[in-house]
Amino acid sequence: MKAGYMGIDVGSVSTNIAIIDEDKDVLESLYLRTNGQPIRAIQEGLMRIQELIDIKILGVGTTGSARNLAGVIVGADVIKNEITAHAVAASTVVKGVQTVLEIGGQDSKIIILRDGIVIDFAMNTVCAAGTGSFLDQQASRLDIPIEEFGSLALGANSPVRIAGRCSVFAESDMIHKQQLGHNLEDIIAGLCQALVRNYLNNVGKGKEILGPVVFQGGVAANQGIKAAFEEELGVEVIVPEYHNVMGAIGSAVLAQSAVKKKKSTSFKGFDTSSFDYHVSSFECNSCPNHCEIINIHQEDEIIARWGSKCPKWEAV
């Protein structure tokens, strides 16, 4: 039986799991849709991993927007934010990386590294234009499988100009261009360029982008976006093999170093997938803040609780 470290990245759109060995090589990876049910996605992910590979888990790390929830369910050794996890993964996979472009389901980030150390980062603030969800939506509107969406862009002769500032306006612009009779390839290529421009102006604003540039996250599978980045930046853009599970790889690497310090893992085992987890919530009326308190139950026992501004509900 092999041994390795597991990283779990529970994001808005996808839940990803990666298993790495002591040399940080990926043994197995899994990409699932979260479908708005993070607990079920985590349990299903664990079940699938168990079927795919016979492995002893030496450590486990969680990341993503549901990192705390995932952490209590699996018994994480380390719970880290997704920016750090992505930076760790990129510098593990591509040595000497200086820029990480990451576009996920609902957020996008840029991370600037120099000499292996993060020196600056940014995340999209108010607008999610150009993230995976929007591309998904456009692909289904045009009735094209999302997997083929990007490669279609490569066949464009003269990409049309589309306003990428806002996804609502981008969509109406696309419809307008369609009605004028432009062909699909040119419109999709135009959309890719618009989204890249928007990303570089908003997220990458004022950052010094130097190669090697790594492009990761679910959207990195889109060849049209990759090509648009290369054209705009004038450097080669590297899309790693496991680009869609980089957050999970990063948290597995972090778990490895956390367990080295802790000496043992807190992993609850694959049995976790058979327990009944559910959440309950209530509004605390002790003060005018009306905090929404969330209880995480394992069977009938409350194992974690969060959501309050004060320590009143901290103890479980």
Partner 1 sequence: MKPKIGIPQALLYHRYYPAWNKFFEELDCEVVDSKVSTKETVDAGVRLAVDEACLPVKLFLGHVQYLKNKVDYLFVPRVVSIESKEYLCPKFMGLPDMVRYNIDDLPTIIDTTLNLRDSKINLFKAALEVGEILGKGIWQVNKALWKALRELRKYRSERKGKINSKANYKIGVLGHEYIIYDPHISMNLIAKLRKMGVEVITAEMLSKPALKKGVAHLSKDMFWTLSKQMLGAGHHFFDRNDIDGIIQLTAFGCGPDSLVGEMIEREAKRRRKQPFMTLNLDEHTGEAGLLTRLEAFIDMIKWEGI
Where do contacts with partner 1 occur on this chain (CB under 8 A)?
65, 80-84, 88, 91-92, 115-121, 123, 125, 206, 253, 257, 287-290, 309
Q: In the numeric block, which tokens belong to residue 116?
A: 């292996």
* Residues whose CB is less than 8 angstroms from the CB of residue 206 and which lie 6 or more positions away in sequence, other chains included: none
Beta bridge partners of 33: 14
Nearer CB in complex with partner 1: 274/285: 285
Distance, CA of 154 to CA of 316 (rounded, Å): 54
Nearer CB in complex with partner 1: 65/138: 65
CB of 132 to partner 1, least distance (A): 18
CB of 169 to partner 1, least distance (A): 21
Nearer CB in complex with partner 1: 49/291: 291
Beta bridge partners of 113: 118
CB of 205 to partner 1, least distance (A): 10
CB of 257 to partner 1, least distance (A): 7
Distance, CA of 235 to CA of 101 (rounded, Å): 13
Nearer CB in complex with partner 1: 194/245: 245
Q: In the numeric block, which tokens belong to residue 312?
A: 């009143």
Nearer CB in complex with partner 1: 178/308: 308
Beta bridge partners of 278: 297
**What is the DSSP pairing of strand 213-216 with strand 99-103?**
parallel
What count of other Cβ atoms lies within 10 Å of the Cβ of residue 53? 14
Distance, CA of 242 to CA of 86 (rounded, Å): 12
The residue among 193, 205, 195 whose CA lies nearest residue 112 is 205
Distance, CA of 199 to CA of 229 (rounded, Å): 10
CB of 266 to partner 1, least distance (A): 20
CB of 165 to partner 1, least distance (A): 18
CB of 21 to partner 1, least distance (A): 16
Distances (CA, A) of 171 to 127, 130, 141, 178, 208: 15, 11, 10, 11, 30
CB of 288 to partner 1, least distance (A): 4
Q: Are 60 and 75 in contact (CB under 8 A)?
A: yes
Q: Are 194 and 167 in contact (CB under 8 A)?
A: no
Q: In the numeric block, which tokens belong to residue 289?
A: 């803040």
